[in-house]
Amino acid sequence: MSTWDYIKDIVVVGSGAGGMTAALVAGDRQNQAIVLEKSSVYGGSTALSGGGIWVPCNHLMAEAGIDDSPEEALAYMQAVTQSQVAEERLQAYVDRAATLVEYLEKNSHVRFEILPGLSDYYAEHYGCKQEGGRTLIAKPLHRDQLGIIAKDLRRPHPQTLIWGRITVTPQEASQMVNSSLQGRLNAAYILSQYFLNPRRLLAPHDSRLTMGNALIGRLRLSLVDHNIPVWLNTPVQQLVIENNTVVGVKAEKNGKTIAIRAKKGVILASGGFARNKLMRSQYQRHPISDRWTAANPDNMGDGIPMGMSVGAECELMEEAWWTPTSVVPGTQYAYVLIIEKSLPGSVIVNNQGKRFANEAEPYIDVVKKMYESDSIPAFFVFDRRFRNKYPTGPLMPGLTPKKYIDKGYIQVANTIEELAKKCGIEPLGLIETIRKMNQYAVTGRDFDFHRGDKSYDRYYGDARVKPNPCLGAIDRPPFYAVKVFPGDLGTKGGLKTDVNARVLRKDGSAIAGLYAIGNVSASVMGDTYPGGGATIGPAMTFGYIAACHATQDA
């Protein structure tokens, strides 16, 4: 191509944590980088998320006295991915993820802390860290530190906010759900800090950034330090290829098509296709709906057909980061059932009133079993005690606004039989299931699906409930039910890549000049989910790897 409007060393497509990491690393290595974002806000799906990253052998574990080793981490990843992923890619992740964390803490505004007590998800496999330590979260950041660019930060998912405005960290949220003394004290402090802030009504939510917003805020601040621009409202239309090498992109900016040269590489970090009805219907299991996802509304999978147009192979297109969700009619986001499903005094059943899974097991597995058992939709059933103590989707504890009943989001009845009839559930089946759950609550043993037996199950349980923090009686009317769908946090299939995040053709050769990271690429985690942060962790790690590889002559 003879005429370029702009010339850069690295062009990054997408402004989530993976894309920003790649741009930061490139810039820190004395390269000119730019981030192109099609949305009017930056942060991608990361900004909506809990913001955790799963990093084996990280230095914070060592500082906390938690033992880990590359051998254990690799063995664990091999066990959970079950030979779906090439060993060299798993090894690359184990080798470089911890390096990334140290690099960011030394060379950027990003600061991490361990999410205490969160076990890896599969205790039955060697190398699992049941004591936690591998899941890290970014430390909170004050919104004012971002200055004028704070206004363009994508807002958190409403489920991560109290009353739609007040931010909390994952630790604070867990303590509040359990209503521990520390949780109550934290809640009182957080609420007082918010209401004593005279500027609280000048922003869409409070000035303390947490979870995914904290991670994105810290990365964005780091890009500012390196004079790396982030162009919003700039969708990339196509890759430019010359002599079998990707040399740049064409994008739309201010209503005009512009050509941007990428001398060292284009890094696609544009997200998955969770909101693309056509692609979901074409590639994924049925039934499926873009309404059941909690993903970024702009996730249309744009980078995947771009890569395919220059010969890329795809993998895992049928897979997603599955999680049970509930859907409030007329709202933009589905609400995930990650915490609620583990709490005592609740159960998930199909239309026969029968359970089909251990509700407290990893959320990805609950959805797989929904499909395997033809339990779509399922129903999340609980009683007044649960409603008074715990949150449910958009509902705060103790509050069931009439609008949610009128919209059909939640059903309420004075008896289990009446509730079953309202929901279209077989009454006798539900009555029998509730009887058994009440019995299990007394003994502390779930003889059907072993709920609460594993460390991961118990992390989201209520430690005050004995003998099993995940089992409680469902016996205080009124009774409630919410429809549950096979939702997701995003898709995880996409362009096939190698150990350096280079995009591969069907013959296994790399497409020169093209890299893919995050959900636009096929996940290094295969069809599984080894621990909290296994979505963002690989996006950032392979963003780091891609930038290092593309700029290795710098």
State whether residue 321 is helix, strand or coil: strand
What confidence category does residue 203 fall into, taking pLDDT thresholds of 50, 70 and 90? low
How many secondary structure helices (H) and strands (E) does the chain include? 17, 23
Average confidence score pLDDT of the chain: 95
What tens digit of pLDDT does each residue of 306-316 get? 999 999 999 99
Question: Could you tell me if 489 and 45 are in contact, meaning their C-beta atoms sit under 8 angstroms apart?
Answer: yes
Percent share of the chain, pLDDT over 70: 94
Question: Residue 184 has what pLDDT?
Answer: 65
What confidence category does residue 170 fall into, taking pLDDT thresholds of 50, 70 and 90? confident
SS3 of 325-384: EECCCCCCCCEECCCHHHCCCEEEECCCCCCCCCCCCCHHHHHHHHHHCCCCCEEEEEEH
Question: Residue 183 has what pLDDT?
Answer: 63
Give the closest residue to 447 by CA, choosing from 465, 430, 461, 468: 468
What tens digit of pLDDT does each residue of 247-259 get? 999 999 999 999 9
- Rounded to 5 degrees, φ, ψ at 383 are -120, -175
pTM of the model: 0.95
User: How many CB atoms neighbour CB 310 within 10 A?
Assistant: 18
90 vs 169, higher pLDDT? 90
Q: And the tokens for 543?
A: 């963003």
For the cut 80, the answer to whether the pLDDT of residue 197 exceeds it is no
Name residues whose C-beta falls within 8 Å of residue 377's C-beta, 6 or more positions apart in sequence. 351, 483, 484, 485
Average pLDDT over every residue of 162-190: 73
Average pLDDT over every residue of 491-496: 99
SS3 of 528-545: CCCCCCCCHHHHHHHHHH
Q: Which amino acid is at 496?
A: K
For the cut 90, the answer to whether the pLDDT of residue 359 exceeds it is yes
Percent share of the chain, pLDDT over 90: 89
Question: Residue 175 has what pLDDT?
Answer: 74
Helix, strand, coil percentages (3-state) for the chain, rounded to 5, are 35, 20, 45
Question: Residue 204 has what pLDDT?
Answer: 65
Question: Residue 494 has what pLDDT?
Answer: 99
Name residues whose C-beta falls within 8 Å of residue 89's C-beta, 6 or more positions apart in sequence. 497, 498, 499, 524
Question: Residue 212 has what pLDDT?
Answer: 98
Give the closest residue to 159 by CA, choosing from 412, 363, 410, 339: 339
Question: Residue 554 has what pLDDT?
Answer: 42
165 vs 262, higher pLDDT? 262
| β-pair partners for 484 | 378
Question: Residue 161 has what pLDDT?
Answer: 82
Question: Residue 524 has what pLDDT?
Answer: 99
408 vs 1, higher pLDDT? 408
Domains of the chain in sequence order: 1-154+211-319+492-553 (3.50.50.60), 323-488 (3.90.700.10)
Question: Residue 195 has what pLDDT?
Answer: 65
For the cut 50, the answer to whether the pLDDT of residue 200 exceeds it is yes
Question: Residue 275 has what pLDDT?
Answer: 98
What confidence category does residue 196 fall into, taking pLDDT thresholds of 50, 70 and 90? low
Angle at which helix 70-81 crosses helix 87-107, to 10 degrees, equals 130
Question: Could you tell me if 338 and 460 are in contact, meaning their C-beta atoms sit under 8 angstroms apart?
Answer: yes
Question: Residue 182 has what pLDDT?
Answer: 66
Spatial distance between the Cα atoms of 214 and 115, rounded to a whole number of angstroms = 14
Q: How many residues does the chain have?
A: 554
What confidence category does residue 441 fall into, taking pLDDT thresholds of 50, 70 and 90? very high
- Type and span of the H or E element at 138: strand 135-138
Question: Residue 512 has what pLDDT?
Answer: 99
Question: Residue 172 has what pLDDT?
Answer: 81
State whether residue 222 is helix, strand or coil: helix
What tens digit of pLDDT does each residue of 20-62 get? 999 999 999 999 999 999 999 999 999 999 999 999 999 999 9
Question: Residue 180 has what pLDDT?
Answer: 62
What tens digit of pLDDT does each residue of 366-413 get? 999 999 999 999 999 999 999 999 999 999 899 899 999 999 999 999
Angle at which helix 17-28 crosses helix 211-225, to 10 degrees, equals 20
| β-pair partners for 236 | 251
